[in-house]
Each structure stands twice: as C-alpha cells, then as structure tokens.
Amino acid sequence: MTAPIIEMRNIEKHFGPVIALGGVSFDVRPGECHCLLGDNGAGKSTFIKTMSGVHKPSRGTMVVEGQEVVFDSPRDAMAAGIATVYQDLAMIPLMSVTRNFWMGREPEKGFGPFKTIDFAKANEVTMREMARMGINLREPEQAVGTLSGGERQTVAIARAVYFGAKVLILDEPTSALGVRQTANVLATIDQVRKAGIGIVFITHNVRHAMAVGDRFTVLNRGKTLGTAVRGEITAEALQDLMAGGQELAVLESSLGGTV
C-alpha cells in the first residue's frame, strides 16, 4: 500500500457558535478514489474546503507528502497539487470558457512587466481538453453562462484534471446530472484514478459511490463514523451508516433498501 498524498489529522472547524467539524481524520493515496459520504449538513463540504485552503482548520494538522502544511489560500493548496471542483461550481457565467478554464493560472507570453495572456495556446488547450471530455464547444469565446449545467460541470472537471493535480476533490459532481452525464463523470473519475491521481469523491448516492470508490468514509454531524474498504462493505450497510444509523422512514416496499 502506498503512502498517503494527503493526510488530515483530527481536523476541527468552528463557525462562531456552530461546530461544523469535531475532529475528523482522513487520507488519500495515489490512484485511489476515496468516497466521502454523509447526511446533509454532516460537514463534507466544510471538510474538503478545509483541505483545499478555503477555510483554515480551527484545530488539527494537515500533512502533504509527509510535510506538515498550513494553507493560507486556495492558491497554496493548488500549488501543493490539490485541485477541487466545488459543489457551487466556481465558474463565472459572464466570462468565456477559456478565461474560466484558465482562471488563476493563465498562460503568459512576453517578458518582464509586458507579459500578456497567450490566448492562442489557451484557446487551443481548452478546446482540446473539452473535446477529450466529450464536449465540442462552438467556440472557446462562448460565455460560460450559455452552457448547460452538465457542460459547466465538465469544464470544472476538465480544468482540475488538466492542471495536473495530485489530488482531485469532487464535491457532489453528479447531483444535478442526468444519467448520461453521470456515467460520463464516473468514467472520467475512473480514468483519472488510473493515471495515479488520488480522488476524493463526495456523493449522496450510494450506488455512485460503490461504482467507483476504493474506500468509503462516512461523516455524521461533524464526526467520522469510520472508514470501510471496497468489498468489505455492502451497499446496504453503507446506506445505513450514511443515514446515521437511525431507522429510515417507512417506505413502500418497492423502494427496496437502497435509495
């Protein structure tokens, strides 16, 4: 078993009077897809935002490739090879696909203070990467606001993958997607994982998790309920865990176990 790329130890996060995370430990290894599951408000988004430098943990340490780190901003996390696709997509509707794709890491040409963005290269790469994800853009100058939700999701993932992350974090990437788009995203995850990148995948859908996950960590009310390895746990057991171990509302039999 390889050493983890990122290890989060006993992370706590308080927002004023709200304790969003109460000591969560978690790690990701290269080439694995580690699923983070849990109820609404369990603290999943808060946790991965801590991981990607948006929030600073109130307590706890982060270790990246054996080195203890403190991220002051998302820039730091990106520099350390952590790319994130947020639940709220981090796309700017009025800007073009290219500008969004490269936002924060625009390719430059020219010298000294006269550097300008290398639009030729930027456009070309954007078109190519989008095509690789199965989306053919009309033109790279198209505003992101004119894309469908699924297309935006794809831009966000393509961007994260392209920038050669060591760890790719996906926060509920499939929740708003149709069947075909979901299949696409899951296939992409598989593909990225095979390239040796560690993936953190957040979802509410047990089946999506089971489909691509190697390990499963369940959060509940800001605490870890435990981590299971693929093959050691059934979908039903995982689902019970996600629901917090409480009895589910009585449903029609046809719902059959998994939701």
Partner 1 sequence: MTDERLMPVSSLRRAMIRPELGAICGVILVFAFFLMVAGDSGMFAPAGFQNWLVVSAQFAIIAVGACLLMIAGEFDLSVGSMIGFAGVIAAILTVQWGWPAWLAILVTFAVCIGLGAINGLLVIRTGLPSFIVTLAFLYILRGLTIWLSILTTRQTIIGGVREAAEGDWLAALFGGVIFKGFFQWLGDVGLIDTFTRGARAGQPVVEGVPMLIVWAIGLIIFGHWLLAKTRFGNWIFASGGDAQAARYVGVPVNRVKVLMFMFTAFCATVFAMCQVMEFGSAAADRGLLKEFEAIICVVIGGALLTGGYGSVIGAALGALIFGVVQQGLFFAGAESSLFRVFLGTILILAVIMNTYIRRLITGER
Ligand X SMILES: Nc1ncnc2c1ncn2[C@@H]1O[C@H](COP(=O)(O)OP(=O)(O)OP(=O)(O)O)[C@@H](O)[C@H]1O
Figure out which of the listed residues 14, 204, 221, 223 binds a second copy, where binding follows CB under 8 A.
Answer: 204
Of residues 178 and 257, the one with the C-beta less far from ligand X: 178
Would you give the binding string for Mg ion spanning residues 61-90, x where CB under 5 A is met? Answer: --------------------------x---
45 binds Mg ion (CB under 5 A): yes
Site for a second copy in 26-55 (CB under 8 A): 38-42
- What is the rounded (10 degree) CA torsion for 89, 93, 95, 97? 60
- In angstroms, what is the minimal distance from the CB of 110 to partner 1? 9
Which positions ≥6 away from 237 have C-beta within 8 Å? Answer: 228
73 binds a second copy (CB under 8 A): no
Mind giving me the DSSP string for 72-105?
SSHHHHHHTTEEEE-SS----TTSBHHHHHHTTS
Which positions ≥6 away from 139 have C-beta within 8 Å? Answer: none
- In angstroms, what is the minimal distance from the CB of 97 to partner 1? 12
Distance CA 111, CA 135 (A): 34
- In angstroms, what is the minimal distance from the CB of 95 to partner 1? 6
Q: Applying CB under 6 A, which residues contact ligand X?
A: 15, 18, 20, 38, 40-46, 87, 148-149, 178
